[in-house]
Amino acid sequence: MTGGSFSRVGVVGLGTMGAGIAEVLARGGLAVVGIEVDAGALERGRGHLEGSTGRAVKRGRLTEEARAEIIGRVRFSTDFADLGDCDLVIEAVPERLDLKRKVFAELDRVCRDDAVLATNTSSLSVTQIAATTGRPAKVVGVHFFNPAPVMRLVEVIGTVLTEPGAVERVADLVKGLGKTPVTIGDRAGFVANRLLFGYLNQAANMLESGHATRDDIDTAMTAGAGLPMGPFTLMDLIGLDTCLGVLDAVYDETRDQRHAPSPVLSELVRAGLLGRKTGRGFYSYG
């Protein structure tokens, strides 16, 4: 068993990140309860998991039997009450504070008193989310990177209210899943996004000012700096709404101009062009 002190883990929200997190947990041998708002969203979540594990089978990285076992470990449900026997629940719903607060209030109600509650937020305050529950000592941030089954880093965030044991237990779980944890305090952007998004925003500003084209900037950073993706391809993968959310949060906290969102990014988000997930962002897809 790779889950350390956790054996049954809930995941609330099975979008790109939540489904990826559910896959990582199920691959680690844990029993997973995957929650979505309705049957349609649940089917899309199952589709993410089937697509991702199906690709691994095609590439010869997973047998068909192992794939069936992984999917079989996930119980799909639209009923929060099914989280009652989980010892950890990871929330991965869209990045809206009102929505996350609602989810945490519900989790606080249905989960065991000793269960740890975690948020995968990339831009909201974990402290603010924790303070909406009656158990802030048991609330942590657990920030996976996209695509979750591939990226090794997981940031584990403790607030001033979190008991140290909860952070340690979650960091141990992350290690058991074959990922690399870093444990940090609750500051906008945590570590990786705080550094990465200054660069991504700078690329958007370069495009905005006519300094270079989208393709030339992407090529410069893949062929010249050895990165797996150029900044525009990466922003489209992350989702432009998420990018804007992270930049807004870091800018609000620091007033550092490098994080003042580039107008081109805000404009694309206003137009509903959010990247791969909507079929168009800086690039167009399929």
User: Does 211 qualify as catalytic in the annotation?
Assistant: no
Integer Cα distance of 238 and 244 in angstroms: 10
> How far, CA to CA in Å, does 257 sit from each of 12, 13, 198?
35, 33, 9
Please state the closest distance from residue 21 (CB atom) to ligand CAA, in A.
Answer: 11
For position 270 contacting ligand CAA by CB under 6 A, the verdict is no
Number of residues that bind ligand CAA (CB under 6 A): 18
Residues pairing with 140 in the sheet? 118
Catalytic residue from among 193, 201, 205, 262: 193
Residue closer to ligand CAA by CB (options 115, 265) is: 265
- The DSSP result for 129-153, as a single string, is HHTTSS-GGGEEEEEE-SSTTT--E
Catalytic residue from among 120, 122, 125, 262: 122
Tokens (6 digits) for 97: 């504070």
For position 147 contacting ligand CAA by CB under 6 A, the verdict is yes
User: Does 64 qualify as catalytic in the annotation?
Assistant: no
Stretch touching ligand CAA by CB under 6 A, among 74-82, 83-91, 102-110, 142-150: 142-150
For position 245 contacting ligand CAA by CB under 6 A, the verdict is no
For position 149 contacting ligand CAA by CB under 6 A, the verdict is yes
Task: Using CB under 6 A, pick the residue from 6, 76, 104, 145 that binds ligand CAA.
Answer: 145
User: Does 143 qualify as catalytic in the annotation?
Assistant: yes
Integer Cα distance of 275 and 254 in angstroms: 27
Residue closer to ligand CAA by CB (options 6, 145) is: 145
State the CB neighbour count (10 A cutoff) for residue 201: 25
Q: What is residue 113's DSSP assignment?
A: T
- In 14-80, where do the E strands start and end? 31-35, 74-77
Pattern 65-104, ligand CAA, x by CB under 6 A: ----------------------------------------
Please state the closest distance from residue 173 (CB atom) to ligand CAA, in A.
Answer: 19
- Closest C-alpha to 203, from 255, 150, 247: 247
- The DSSP result for 236-281, as a single string, is HHH-HHHHHHHHHHHHHHH--GGGS--HHHHHHHHTT--BGGGTBS
For position 262 contacting ligand CAA by CB under 6 A, the verdict is no
Integer Cα distance of 231 and 180 in angstroms: 24
Amino acid sitting at position 232: F
User: Does 266 qualify as catalytic in the annotation?
Assistant: no
| Sign of the alpha-carbon torsion through 67, 73, 75, 76 | negative
Query: What part of residues 192-231 is at the interface with ligand CAA (CB under 6 A)?
Result: 193, 228-229
Residue closer to ligand CAA by CB (options 76, 145) is: 145
Please state the closest distance from residue 123 (CB atom) to ligand CAA, in A.
Answer: 7
Query: What part of residues 39-58 is at the interface with ligand CAA (CB under 6 A)?
Result: 52, 55-56
| Residues binding ligand CAA (CB under 6 A) | 52, 55-56, 59, 61, 122, 145-147, 149-151, 193, 228-229, 234, 238, 242
Catalytic residues: 122, 143, 155, 193
